[in-house]
Amino acid sequence: MESDRGIQSQEADEFFLQGLALAKKGLWKEAAAAYRESLLINPGSAQTYLNLGFVYYELGYDREAQEAFGIASKIQARACVR
């Protein structure tokens, strides 16, 4: 079971890094897709939601950006409370 989590975490990281690389190239829609794939595997990643929010902002998707930033903030707040 633990190795499955490790594999899933590695997959999430790969999609996250793919999103970073695509965003650096200005490929916003592709970056958003990669970040969303990462979040399907690891929905508790505040950093991924934050990055997705910036990508949505670049695409002009203000409502989606606000939502992603809000989720990132909630996740981060929970981490600080522990």
Residue keyed to tokens 């695509």: 22
Crossing angle for the helix pair 28-41 and 46-59, to the nearest 10 degrees: 160
- CA 43-55-13 angle, to 5 degrees, is 40
Domain count, the chain: 1
The pLDDT confidence band at residue 78, using thresholds 50, 70 and 90, is confident
25, two tokens: 């190239």
Confidence label for 81 from pLDDT (cuts 50, 70 and 90): low
- CATH code assigned at 62: 1.25.40.10
Question: 1-53 pLDDT, tens per residue?
Answer: 456 677 788 999 999 999 999 999 999 999 999 999 999 999 999 999 999 99
Tokens at 44, concatenated: 């508790």
Q: What is the pLDDT of residues 14-27, one digit of tens each?
A: 999 999 999 999 99
pLDDT at 3: 60
Nearest to 16 by CA among 43, 6, 1: 43
Give the domain extent around 25: 2-81
